[in-house]
Chain A
């Protein structure tokens, strides 16, 4: 609506789109090499970068109100809590026996 939206413009969308396709090619290429357990780590990291690009640019979070940014961050914090506590449980359960 305001000028900052217009100036970010159409060119920015195409640059982000090109970067996303590049990352897709990169993640497929990485899967063709046997990196052992690192295959999963590399694939997850590339997916996270793609998700970040989509969120910041396609979803305009970069230019959104601070309250919106807070809601986005809160969603991710709750997700991190769910994974951290659950995986800590599964990780450490064997120590008891």
Chain B
């Protein structure tokens, strides 16, 4: 009896599940249910963007050209790279390759941070050009329909800001996984948290895959 708690703690299977497959699928479905609410959360903002863009497509296209296409494309590539390292990290965890898992988690964290850094640079650039209609800052627009241009930048900062917040949460989650993996956890039958967190990371990547064309590419350059 005395050694039973220790053996329970070492088991990869929580007592409420019949087997490991059921446990893994329950975790997976739970994350997808959460991601469904996230689809609606971001979907509402994408809908607002669509409706405002329909009102004045020409001004939205002109405002879109003010964004830096090169940094936007580079950031998209950075996030796609981070999705690759994340997918490989899940694979390494399932095959119990500890050192590879630690390296790949660290790489994903670095790539996520690079994305946030570039986003910060872009925000600073918009601030300097007077294109940041936040917190009472003056909005400077020389073309026609400055009101609609301001709406575009309102949506730009709302959408990319909420996305960046999701990235920050993702980086924090991966840091926790990195510490656990460094201590020899999350391997083989214990790999489900890496898989579940990976789903979240890839979802945030997908949101950016749509944000990039909607914000940067709607006006031909």
Contacts and interface: CB of A to CB of B under 8 A. Distances in A.
A binds B: yes
Contacts of B163: none
Given A68-B25, A78-B40, A79-B40, A47 B210 contact: yes
B25 A27 contact: no
A28 B80 contact: no
Contacts of B198: 58-59
Contact of A17 (B51, B84, B91): B84
Contacts, number: 131
A74 B37 CA distance: 11
A68 B195 CA distance: 14
Interface residues of B, number: 53
B84 A10 contact: no
A43 B206 contact: no
Contacts of B94: 1, 5
B213 A44 contact: yes
Contacts of B71: none
B32 interface: yes
Contacts of A79: 39-40, 43
Nearest to B220: A34
Contact of A75 (B21, B39, B86, B217): B39
Interface in A22-57: 24, 27-28, 30-35, 37, 39-40, 43-44, 46-47, 50-51, 54-55, 57
Interface of B: 20-21, 24-25, 28-29, 32-33, 35-36, 39-40, 43-44, 47, 50-51, 54, 57, 69, 73, 76-77, 80-81, 83-84, 86-88, 90-91, 94-95, 191, 195, 198-199, 202-203, 205-206, 209-210, 212-214, 216-221
22 contacts: A13-B88, A14-B84, A32-B221, A34-B220, A43-B217, A44-B213, A47-B210, A50-B209, A54-B209, A58-B84, A58-B87, A64-B25, A65-B25, A68-B25, A72-B32, A75-B32, A79-B40, A82-B44, A82-B47, A83-B43, A83-B50, A87-B50
